[in-house]
Amino acid sequence: MTGSYTNKLAECASNSIRILDIKYGTSVDGTGLRTSLYCAGCEHHCSGCHNPQSWSENAGESLAVEELFKLIVDADMNVTFTGGDPMLHPEGFIELASMIKSRTNKNIWCYTGYKFEELLLHPQRRMLVELCDVIVDGRYEEDKRDLSLHFRGSANQRIIDVKESLEKKDICLYSLFK
Ligand code: SF4
């Protein structure tokens, strides 16, 4: 990372995240076995949401980013940010993702109810997008629910390869078989 980019990250970062749950070794929030962080706060309020207790921004408890990073390193698995919506208040996740990317070789998936195109228009959300490997985007739409889908609840949601999409300036879906 360049010095100016690092400074920009520092300005947008926060040193804590409200967390509802942490799951270790889960295989449902992305490929392989992962450490999943469930954050508080979501403004989408999708009908049929699997986790409505996560909607309140005051749910769960505030944990220091340093502490979360240590838990992730100790678990030694790839990482998923979910909730709630990690993109609602991306500041703490920007800090955490920066640490994961600069100090480990772990990949990061992030679930969000916003569409990828919307995230790119919001400076801080875009910053978090750029630190992630895969974004699973879009609200949960009950009428498009499909139990046969991998890693997403409804057919409108997309599993997006971030690097390729940013390079090609177009949505590139992530291949689950690579
Ligand atoms: S985006 Fe996810 S957490 Fe938020 S309401 Fe929709 S399904 Fe629930």
177 or 123, higher pLDDT = 123
Q: What is the pLDDT of residues 68-90, one digit of tens each?
A: 999 999 999 999 999 999 999 99
Structure tokens belonging to residue 170? 């177009």
Structure tokens belonging to residue 48? 């049929």
Percentage of the chain beyond pLDDT 90 is 90
Instruction: Sort 128 into a burial class: Cβ within 10 Å, 0-12 / 13-18 / 19+.
Output: buried
Give yes or no for residue 113 CB within 6 A of ligand 1. yes
- pTM for this predicted structure: 0.94
Percentage of the chain beyond pLDDT 70 is 92
Single out the residue of 113, 63, 62, 48 nearest to residue 83, CA to CA. 113
Give first-to-last CA distance, the chain, whole Å.
26
Q: What is the pLDDT of residues 2-40, one digit of tens each?
A: 566 666 666 666 799 999 999 999 999 999 999 999 999
Which residues does residue 135 pair with via DSSP β-bridges, in sequence order? Answer: 110, 160
Q: What is the pLDDT of residues 39-66, one digit of tens each?
A: 999 999 999 998 999 999 999 999 999 9
Single out the residue of 139, 136, 140, 71 nearest to residue 106, CA to CA. 71
Backbone angles phi, psi at 64, to 5 degrees: -70, 140
Residue located nearest, by CA, to atom 7 of ligand 1? 49
How far is Cα 13 from Cα 141, in angstroms, rounded to an integer?
31
Give yes or no for residue 46 CB within 6 A of ligand 1. yes
